[in-house]
């Protein structure tokens, strides 16, 4: 998936300590795959699983929800640039959360660098 590859590249290029980068990778992978699940759910609901005329329909939404599902599919699945934008926003969100956690937690013992500098 493109969002996963973009997120890995952004995390690899982030100038932070290695331990923080591993945590950033862990939480980033969880977040990006959660977003991919939402994206694929919108795609599946739009292509038939929420279509009232299909015999294998899992859900029969009303006209408002059908319109919401169609618009979500256009934004999330049909737009090729959304994968890049999604990865950047997930990277920013996870980076802020990981940095905030390291600044907030009690008993900070880790240096801001990898420990190579005195």
Number of residues that make up the chain:
118
- Specify the pLDDT at position 118: 46
- Tokens 């739009």 belong to residue: 46
Q: Do 17 and 113 touch, CB atoms closer than 8 A?
A: yes
Element (H, E) at 12: helix 2-12
Q: How would you write the pLDDT of the chain (118 residues) with one tens digit per residue?
A: 788 999 999 999 999 888 889 999 999 999 999 988 988 888 888 887 777 777 777 777 888 988 888 888 888 888 888 889 999 999 999 999 888 887 777 665 554 445 554 4
Dump pLDDT digits (tens) for 49-73: 777 777 777 777 888 988 888 888 8
Q: Cα-atom radius of gyration of the chain, to the nearest Å? A: 19
- Specify the pLDDT at position 108: 59
Q: Do 27 and 33 touch, CB atoms closer than 8 A?
A: no
Q: What residues contact 114, with CB distance under 8 A and at least 6 apart?
A: 17, 18
């Amino acid at each position: 998936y493109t969002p996963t590859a973009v997120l890995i590249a952004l995390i690899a290029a982030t100038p932070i300590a290695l331990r923080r980068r591993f945590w950033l990778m862990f939480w980033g992978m969880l977040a990006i795959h959660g977003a991919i699940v939402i994206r694929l759910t919108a795609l599946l609901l739009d292509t038939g699983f929420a279509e009232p005329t299909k015999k294998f329909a899992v859900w029969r939404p009303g006209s408002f929800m059908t319109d919401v599902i169609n618009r979500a599919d256009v934004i999330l699945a049909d737009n090729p640039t959304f994968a890049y934008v999604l990865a950047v926003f997930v990277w920013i969100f996870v980076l802020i959360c990981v940095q905030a956690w390291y600044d907030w937690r009690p008993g900070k013992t880790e240096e801001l660098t990898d420990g190579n500098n005195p």
